[in-house]
Amino acid sequence: MPVATPEAYAEMLDRAKEGAFAYPAINVTSSQTLNAALRGFAEAESDGIVQVSTGGAEFLSGSTVKNMVTGAAAFAAYAREVAKGYPVNVALHTDHCPKDKLDKFVRPLLELSAERVKRGEEPLFQSHMWDGSAVPLEENLQIAKDLLAKAAAARVILEIEVGVVGGEEDGIVGAIDDKLYTTVGDGLRTVEELGLGEHGRYITALTFGNVHGVYKPGNVKLRPEILKEIQEAVGAKYGKEKPFDLVFHGGSGSLLEEIRSALDYGVVKMNIDTDTQYAFTRGVVDHMFRNYDGVLKVDGEVGDKKAYDPRAYGKAAEATMAKRVVEACENLRSTGTTLGK
């Protein structure tokens, strides 16, 4: 199936919230990691989301070119073609974008989508994230309001973050302190400024102890009940059950029961990067260890071309990453839920 239309993406999110499941949002940095994500979704019979961060987009443009817009646009064009070969719907998303990179990443991409829509085409991406966690809440929401208007005009969904995710991702560092927990007041203020869809659809990363990076299960102190409290308080004021479409960031090391609780409270998208990075690299390392004499010209020998052909270890890496994507679908209850069934 092709990349999801704006209507199909909206339906995906609606079905996820109604069914208390979420889509894995897999960060990719290459054609191989993209294909691994698509393969995993197909094997799990789950729709999904593939996303690029600012660093991932730079890498996709060429490690010496480092043009985020070029890399993101190239990724979107390639994804549109290869996604046609898989029997699932996939949405394209851009991940964390801080204030100092908006003019080099999200805003130009929104302009490209607006131009495409004017020509009667689909937007380049289905959603973009504005990461305002490093600025005061009021500034965060004012920037979000401006971006939401532009996103709505381009038929794109905006993702925002209210609160702080600790740890580090792509050079963005969040302190591990009480700001890791979004408050009811923050949730109410968000709706006061952005509405509940009437000004454009947005999805919200409310933080409940989330931390980016590598952690063993039990080391991340999550409090998913915070999501329930905010949903209930905002819902009571506006007469709407689970008013927020929620996003789960920093999920590595989370316990399954914590993940499932978050799903019950309205999480429809969960970002997965660290775990799939490891899974991809694990396949490469396994190939190298098993074929040491073949991938290296040891003691003056010629090696084995079949072993050092990038396709050989690329296939292994794709398989191990796809397996981890299938596991993510199972954890998030999205297995077997594709719109195409």
Q: How far apart are CA 207 and CA 250, in angstroms?
A: 9
Q: Is 273 a catalytic residue?
A: no
Residues 6+ away with beta carbon under 8 Å from 236: none
Are 190 and 133 spatial neighbours (Cβ–Cβ below 8 Å)? no
Place of tokens 């596991």: 327
Q: How far apart are CA 148 and CA 167, in angstroms?
A: 27
Catalytic residue among 95, 170, 245, 273: 95
Lookup: tokens for 74: 């190239």
* Catalytically active residues, by annotation: 95
